Each structure stands twice: as structure tokens, then as C-alpha cells.
A = this chain, B = another copy of it.
Amino acid sequence: VLNMKAFVAGGSGYGGGELLRLLAGHPRVDEIASSSRTYEGKRISAVHPNLSGIVESEFKAHDPSHADADIVFLALPHGQSMEYAPQILECGMKVIDFSADYRMGDARLYGKHYGKHKNPELLEDAVYGLPELFRDDIRKSRLIANPGCYATAALLALKPLSSISKSLDFNHVIVDAKSGTSGAGAKPSQFLHHSEVFDNIRTYKETGHRHEPEIDHILDCFIKDASVSFTPTLMPVVRGIICNCHIFGDTDIETLRAAYSNDYRKEPFIRVVDAACTKNVLYSNYCDIQPAYDAGKGRAVIVSAIDNLVKGAAGQAMQNMNLLMGYPEDEGLKTPPYHP
């Protein structure tokens, strides 16, 4: 197993910055380079001052097509990744894409929610980079669509129920999610202005969030015609996602627990717990999952918690990188979460 070179396109954002931080601590990564449209030529640690004394290079020019790397991470907005992916792949480099551009597997579905796809022929090459669901495919791929943060938390909570899906009403699943502000990115706006966010709980995109079709699309591989209704709420914190998944049906708590234990027994980053909260997973690649069941009303509640920038973005990307490179899956991802 050889060491590697990594390139992060769009390293000035929060997802890209978190990935640079993780790569800096990965024992197998020999070289790290990063590009940024806005900060080209500027020191990386001027944008991410947490990395002062740790990452000392400058941002390169934006275009990642000519990167000299084994893997190129595209931490770019939707629509931009598909501009660069084809050429990078042609150069023989592998791609892990943070955007939605290769998640849908279907140009029509992509078009409906994001716009016209520029290289739909690549969609069938792309693998949805959720290792717990598609590990073997990921290993063999050259183009990984790194999942959305909400989709990660929802899918990890819902997929194990496929074994008992017949006793549950999977046509009316509610995923009520809560997230901190870092998922909305580093660009200043009134919506993310501290004085507006602090001490405020704000439901937004009550209907129509674009992670909803992503969840449905992937879940369909495991539970035919499952339909998830998704609503996010913005929390006055920076990191962390909690999904409360509500599903009516006739089961019991032992059956639920068994479904999760069976599926996730050997997973390095899933913990089935008694009380899920964001604090126990922040800054780590863990997803904590807690099943509950109300026998009186016949409702299952599955709570999942992740750090949106780690398991929901950069950590998951590195987990995918480890799979692509044949490294131990948890290499560079072993730092435990914190208390308090």
C-alpha cells in the first residue's frame, strides 16, 4: 500500500477546510494541495487560522483539472463539480465530489432539482459515497458522490429498517431534522448573521428541501417506493445534525434494536446508543443512532446524530478515500469526540 497525494478544490469553504485539517493528520497523505477561486495565492492558514503552524502552503489557482494528485476532492458548489470532473478522471485521478452533481444517478431527477446535467454519461459510473450502504461499490469506483449531510443522517437512520419495512408505513416517513449553521457555508448573509441566528430556532424549507429527493432516491435501493417527507430547522450552533425519523407501524423495540445491531455490528463509525445527542459525535466521524418505539400509538422514532462537517462531509470523504486507496477505513479518523 503506497502513500498518496491529495488535492482539495475549493479549500476555503468549511467542508474543504475541515478536509484539509483531516488530511494534515492522515499518516498516508504525503502531499496536500488546495485551490480557491477567491483566495488564490493567499496562505491557507489565513483563511483557516486554526491551521497556523500546521498547513503552511498557499491556495493554488481554482482549476483542479491539472492537479498532480491521486485523488481530487471537489469541495465545490453544485454545478461547478461537473465542469471539472470529466477532465480529472481522464487524467487518471480519482474524484470525490462534495456537491450533488453525481448523487442522483439519473439526469432527469438531477435536472428537476438542480438544473441540466453536463455529463450525464458519468452518472452511472458514480457511486454514492455512503460506505455503510455501498462499501464494496465504493472500493471499485473512480468517481464518488459524497452524500449530503442531512441525507447521511437520515439514510443511516432509515436503511436498517428495510428488513422490517413491511410492518412499517414507509410511504409516510417524517424526517424532522435540526442543523447548525456551518452546513450553510462560509459566505456571510443576513440569514447567517450572528445577531439573527443566536438564541433563535428557525424552521426553514418546511417543504421542498433538495435532500428529500436524494434520500428517496437512495432509500429506494433498499425499500422500494419509500417516501420521506423532510423538514429542517436551523439551530443556533455551528456543527451537528439531529434527525428525528418518525414512522408508524406495528413492531416493538426489541425488533428495532435488533435491526440496527445486525446491520451495524461491525461498522467502525456507527454507534447504537441509548440517548443520541450531537455533543457526543461533534468533531468526529461517528453517527450515533437511537431507536425508540411507542407501542400505544404504534410509532417508531429513530434519532440519528452526526457532525455535518465530518460524517456529513469531510470525514466521510476521507472514509471514502481510505476505501479507494485500500487503507484501513478509519485511518486519520480516530480522534474521539469530546466531553463536554
Q: Is the CB–CB distance between B25 and A176 below 8 Å?
A: no
Which residues from 160 to 208 on chain A have a C-beta closer than 8 Å to any C-beta of chain B?
Answer: 172, 174, 176, 178, 180-182, 186, 188-190, 192-204, 206-208
Cα–Cα distance between A42 and B31 once the two chains are bound (Å) = 45
A235-B201, A277-B203, A280-B50 known; A188 vs B190 contact (CB < 8 Å): yes
Q: Is the CB–CB distance between A340 and B195 below 8 Å?
A: yes
Q: Is the CB–CB distance between B238 and A199 below 8 Å?
A: yes
Q: Is the CB–CB distance between B203 and A303 below 8 Å?
A: yes
Oligomer copy total:
4
Contact with B along A229-254 (1 / 0, CB 8 A): 10101011111101010101000000
Minimum Cβ distance to chain B for residue A228 (Å): 9
A201-B237, A237-B236, A275-B49 known; A248 vs B294 contact (CB < 8 Å): no
Minimum Cβ distance to chain B for residue A297 (Å): 5
**Interface-located stretch among A121-129, A142-150, A329-337:** A329-337
Interface membership of A156, Cβ < 8 A:
no
Contacts of A292 in B (CB 8 A): 206-207
Contact with B along A285-309 (1 / 0, CB 8 A): 0001010111001010101010000
Interface membership of A214, Cβ < 8 A:
no
Interface membership of A17, Cβ < 8 A:
yes
Contacts of A288 in B (CB 8 A): 52
Cα–Cα distance between A197 and B188 once the two chains are bound (Å) = 12
Interface membership of A339, Cβ < 8 A:
yes
Which residues from 71 to 92 on chain A have a C-beta closer than 8 Å to any C-beta of chain B?
Answer: none
Cα–Cα distance between A242 and B239 once the two chains are bound (Å) = 20
Minimum Cβ distance to chain B for residue A8 (Å): 14
Which residue of the partner chain, among B194, B227, B231, contacts A238 with CB atoms under 8 Å? B194
Q: Is the CB–CB distance between A50 and B336 below 8 Å?
A: yes
Interface membership of A7, Cβ < 8 A:
no
Q: Is the CB–CB distance between A21 and B336 below 8 Å?
A: yes
Which residue of the partner chain, among B190, B273, B301, contacts A206 with CB atoms under 8 Å? B301
Interface membership of A67, Cβ < 8 A:
no
A186-B193, A194-B194, A338-B283 known; A276 vs B203 contact (CB < 8 Å): yes
18 A-B contacts, Cβ less than 8 Å apart? A14-B195, A25-B335, A52-B273, A52-B280, A172-B172, A176-B246, A188-B190, A192-B194, A193-B194, A195-B340, A201-B235, A201-B278, A203-B276, A207-B293, A207-B297, A227-B297, A229-B297, A335-B335
Q: A50-B337, A200-B240 are in contact. List 11 more A-B contacts (CB 8 A).
A: A50-B280, A51-B339, A182-B195, A186-B190, A197-B198, A198-B198, A199-B237, A200-B279, A201-B235, A203-B276, A231-B246
